[in-house]
Copies of this chain bind each other. A is one copy, B any other.
Amino acid sequence: MFTATEENYLKALFRLGALTEGGKGPAGTNELALELDIRPATVNGMLKKLREKGLVEQRRYGKILLTEAGRLHAVEVIRKHRLWETFLYEKLHFTWDEVHDVAEQLEHIRSVHLTDRLEEFLGYPSVDPHGDPIPDKEGRMPPEVRRTLAESEEGHAGRIVGVCDNSAEFLQYLDRLGLSLGLRLTITRHIPFDGSVELESAGIRMIITRKVAENLLVD
């Protein structure tokens, strides 16, 4: 039905929030090209195809919006991606930063049966190893109940449930800091000087930079 390439375009559009006129705002050709690391001219041709398939709406020289069909398929691909990431992490003991690249391949395997059985095998997880919510079979996305560490108030206690930045670079840095998914911590202080955040976990006190705090999600 859809090629892996088409699916990647849909996924990227979803990420960019090309859902309604509001929100983060719909993407343009250049923005989408940047996201996919593909030249704008190429993207332009692909958009023509996606319009003809009824997955995308776009007026000449206008912004790009996913149609309902496009949104549904994007969510389906995200569902598969996050289920596979969960499988790799929990069953095959991949590390936090190894799962993404392989899941990028696995998400394009065509078999509804496979996705549903995998979900069952994993015990119907609601979030993936990065803390991102896993959509259900009907394309419903569980609501986000997360905030970045930078936004949480002093005294707040919670667990690390996800990251905003999925790069191997960041994830490996987190490992080095001793921060991992599920870790319980308490925010002891926001330092006004440079935005650093002081926190305590398992009796150990540490300070993380503002940039790290902005990319860590807690419940």
**Taking beta carbons and an 8 Å cutoff, which residues of A are in contact with B?**
88, 91-94, 98, 101-102, 105-106, 109-111, 113-114, 117-118, 120-121
Contact = CB atoms under 8 A, between A and B. Distances in A.
Contact of A109 (B91, B105, B118, B120): B105
Contacts of A102: 109, 111, 113-114
B114 A92 contact: yes
A15 to B, nearest CB: 23
B91 A113 contact: no
Given A98-B113, A113-B98, A118 B105 contact: no
16 contacts: A88-B114, A91-B121, A92-B114, A92-B118, A92-B120, A94-B113, A94-B117, A98-B113, A101-B111, A102-B111, A102-B114, A105-B109, A105-B110, A105-B111, A106-B106, A106-B109
A101 B118 CA distance: 16
Nearest to A102: B111
Contacts of A114: 88, 92, 102
Nearest to A105: B109
A91 B123 CA distance: 13
A109 B101 CA distance: 11
Contacts of A120: 92
Contacts of A93: 117
Contacts of A109: 102, 105-106
A124 to B, nearest CB: 14
Which 4 A-B residue pairings sit nearest by Cβ, starting from the closest? A92-B117, A102-B111, A105-B109, A102-B114
A93 B114 CA distance: 10
Contacts of A88: 114
B121 A92 contact: yes
Contacts of A92: 114, 117-118, 120-121
